Amino acid sequence: MPGHGRGNATTAPTTTKPRSHTLKRLVKYILTDKLRVAVVIIACGLATTTMVLGPKIMGQATNVLFEGVISKMLPAGTTKEQAIAALEANGQGSMVDMVSSMDIHPGQGVDFGKVAMILGITACVFLCTVTLRWIQGWTLTRLVSNAVYRMRQQIEAKLDHLPLSYFDRVPRGEVMSRTTNDIDNIGQSLQQVLGEFIFALFSIIGTVIMMITISPLLLLISLIVIPFLLAAAYFIIRKSQPYYIRQWDATGKVNSQVEEMFSGHMVIRAYGQEDETIDEFDRRNRELYDSSFMATLIAGINMPVTQFFGNLNFVIVVVVGGLKVLSGTMTLGDLQAFSQYSRQLSQPLGQLSSMATILQSSLASAERIFEFLDEPEEVAEREHTQDIKDVKGLVRFDHVKFSYDPAEPLIEDLSLEAKPGQTIAIVGPTGAGKTTLVNLLMRFYEIQGGSITIDGVDTRDITRHDLRQHFGMVLQDTWLFDGTIRENLLYGLHEGETISEERMIEGAKACHVDEFVRRLPDGYDTELKDETAELSQGERQLMTICRAFLSDPDILILDEATSSVDTRTEVLVQQAMNHLREGRTSFVIAHRLSTIRDADLILVVNHGSIVEQGRHEELLAKGGAYANLYQAQFANGDNIEED
């Protein structure tokens, strides 16, 4: 879009905020749905309870089996005391200690009925665990999906309230990356982390409680490795976080490059810049690869470290526990249960460490999203606003001041008046501020001094939405959207407004649209996709004119609407625009001066000031800036003819 003082779009900087601030803000999206949060926590707590009971129950089955085997080894028909006395007499002290701690009957053997009952109870407990985990997972999926949905809604609302200066500054690919890739990463990470985090936390608590009931000594031994695990996790998080931030920043740059390559592929080929473009893409892709590789490499250290300390802990527990079994101070079933709990304790500790590294990626994306949501919005509407009815189209600029950059003033003291029904043409060199005037009129940017009024009402006293309802725009860029031709033509209708099929076709005929639409197989129901390859540039431009015509605006803006069509098509476009301008106040930004010779007033703008104004013949007679522009186009062979 033409304009003065606006630089090329650059990647939005990512500001680093404290991790805790970003995490708290992210958690708020989850806590909004309190009912589902409660269901997840309750289901997780119950699932943990049933899970930690499993090893203890299985330990009872082991005790029954082991005691049955030992009892079978003892002489039948004797009492436990007699069997112990016989073992003492034979010098089997270790067996004496074990048998003394067992509830056995010599010669009885294994009670398989009791074993089957215990295994049945264990199966029921594990089934409950699986069911509760499924409830937790299903609820959590809905919880995270709703949170991401709300986040997307906020982003959509934010897009509608950002000033144009943001889109001038930030590449489209970067915006798309933040609103798609980063959101997806947050959703996937939260889905993966939240459920496991809650379950791991409950598992640690439940496991520790069960370990205390079995052997406080072995529990203390097991807890020795925790400081080492925490230190390793802290190191990994600190080292991986910068790379995750770089990874998602690099993703935004790659997306911007791809969008640029796609949109400008014809220009790239026309100027033979394929190799340079590929080199630039390779450079950005390498940045993404390097940051992703390092983030994954450092995060990958977590699992081996966790497994090492977990295995070391298991070995120590088994050795010490074995000695306690031999001494009769612990049963074999309790040792088995404790060994399982030791594994269960190591696993959630490792999961917490792994989830912490995954969370870093999510927080990096969240920072980018929150930075986007915190971007300054358009200036707030005034407290008391009004709507304007029956607009006549009297437009006044009164001592207007504006600049894109405070250090580079653009419009310092501009005044003009457009009377109802007049056509005001605005011409001037590139960067003179032509498009800026209509952007200020529609409040895409806010003036910094003076006033702009429509029928005597200051535009700042009208909400942007209500103000823009009175305008129709035809731009140089022929934006058509995915959908049918019919939907595109009716796109400019106000909310709740409808028109008949006959009225639509009448407007299409007036704008020379009907004649080429009739040639299409599906007519007005033709689907437009892939930049409407089936339509020429001129046909697309005629459609945008028809879209504005059917919206029946009070004030019309035509911004370089014929600059990208050939001379033959320009005749049709000009006829359609003349029809559209009838009875409306119109502002025409023109490059081809031949298209504005019949304008009621021509403004020659340069450096944000009106240097000349008048009708076509008057300005030519002055021999000033307009005459120079006119003669320059004539010398270049543009199609300009005197009446």
Query: 135 pLDDT exceeds 70?
Result: yes
101 and 78 housed in the same domain: yes
Query: 81 pLDDT exceeds 80?
Result: no
Give ∠ CA 494-496-501 in degrees, rounded to 5: 85
Task: Enter the DSSP assignment of 178.
Answer: I
94 and 236 housed in the same domain: yes
**pLDDT tens figures, 308-341:** 877 787 788 888 888 887 777 777 777 877 887 7
Query: 597 pLDDT exceeds 80?
Result: yes
Sequence letter at residue 78? T
Q: In this structure, is residue 381 part of a structural domain?
A: no
User: Which comes out higher in pLDDT, residue 564 or 52?
Assistant: 52
Domain boundary among 310, 345, 373: 373
108 and 221 housed in the same domain: yes
- What predicted TM-score, i.e. pTM, was given to this entire model? 0.65
Which CATH number characterizes residue 539's domain?
3.40.50.300
Q: In this structure, is residue 63 part of a structural domain?
A: yes
Query: What's the pLDDT band for 5 if we cut at 50, 70, 90?
Result: very low
Query: What's the pLDDT band for 429 if we cut at 50, 70, 90?
Result: confident
Cα–Cα distance for residue pair 411/299, rounded to 1 Å: 54
Span 338-346, mean pLDDT?
78
Query: 565 pLDDT exceeds 70?
Result: no
pLDDT at 531: 54
Q: In this structure, is residue 3 part of a structural domain?
A: no
| Structural domain boundaries, residue 326 | 19-373
Radius of gyration of the chain from its Cα atoms, rounded to whole angstroms = 38
Query: What's the pLDDT band for 641 if we cut at 50, 70, 90?
Result: very low
Cβ(16)–Cβ(242) under 8 Å? Answer: no
131 and 197 housed in the same domain: yes
pLDDT at 265: 64
Among 316, 331, 319, which residue's Cα sits nearest to residue 221?
316
pLDDT at 398: 94
Cα–Cα distance for residue pair 601/427, rounded to 1 Å: 11
Cα–Cα distance for residue pair 199/205, rounded to 1 Å: 10
pLDDT at 642: 41
242 and 216 housed in the same domain: yes
336 and 191 housed in the same domain: yes
Cα–Cα distance for residue pair 130/133, rounded to 1 Å: 5
Cβ(555)–Cβ(584) under 8 Å? Answer: yes
**Which of 196-200, 267-271, 610-614 is modeled with the greatest confidence?**
610-614
Query: What's the pLDDT band for 419 if we cut at 50, 70, 90?
Result: very high
453 and 535 housed in the same domain: no
Task: Provide the strand spans (E) within 483-532.
Answer: 483-484, 527-528
Query: 275 pLDDT exceeds 90?
Result: no
pLDDT at 101: 62
Span 294-305, mean pLDDT?
78
Q: In this structure, is residue 380 part of a structural domain?
A: no
Span 500-524, mean pLDDT?
89
Report the chain's mean pLDDT, rounded to a whole number: 80
Query: What's the pLDDT band for 387 if we cut at 50, 70, 90?
Result: confident
Token pair 């009106």: residue: 610
104 and 183 housed in the same domain: yes
168 and 303 housed in the same domain: yes
Span 493-522, mean pLDDT?
87
Instruction: State the alpha helices, DSSP H only, in 74-111.
Output: 80-89, 93-100
**Which of 19-28, 193-202, 613-622 is modeled with the greatest confidence?**
613-622
pLDDT at 200: 82
**pLDDT tens figures, 433-463:** 788 888 899 998 899 999 999 999 999 999 9
Query: 415 pLDDT exceeds 50?
Result: yes
User: Which comes out higher in pLDDT, residue 284 or 433?
Assistant: 284
172 and 125 housed in the same domain: yes
Give the total residue count for the chain: 643
pLDDT at 87: 67
Query: What's the pLDDT band for 6 if we cut at 50, 70, 90?
Result: very low
Strands 555-559 and 609-614, how do they pair? unpaired
Cβ(433)–Cβ(4) under 8 Å? Answer: yes
Which CATH number characterizes residue 310's domain?
1.20.1560.10
Would you tell me the crossing angle of helices 34-73 and 19-31 to the nearest 10 degrees?
A: 90
Cα–Cα distance for residue pair 215/222, rounded to 1 Å: 11
Q: In this structure, is residue 577 part of a structural domain?
A: no
Cα–Cα distance for residue pair 11/33, rounded to 1 Å: 35
Q: In this structure, is residue 6 part of a structural domain?
A: no
Query: What's the pLDDT band for 2 if we cut at 50, 70, 90?
Result: very low
304 and 264 housed in the same domain: yes
Say how many domains are in the chain.
3
What is the longest distance spanned by two Cα atoms in the chain?
A: 135
Q: In this structure, is residue 578 part of a structural domain?
A: no
Cα–Cα distance for residue pair 517/508, rounded to 1 Å: 9
Q: In this structure, is residue 398 part of a structural domain?
A: yes
547 and 601 housed in the same domain: no
Cα–Cα distance for residue pair 4/434, rounded to 1 Å: 9
**pLDDT tens figures, 13-56:** 455 555 678 888 888 888 888 899 899 889 988 988 888 887 77
Query: 395 pLDDT exceeds 90?
Result: yes
Sequence letter at residue 619? L
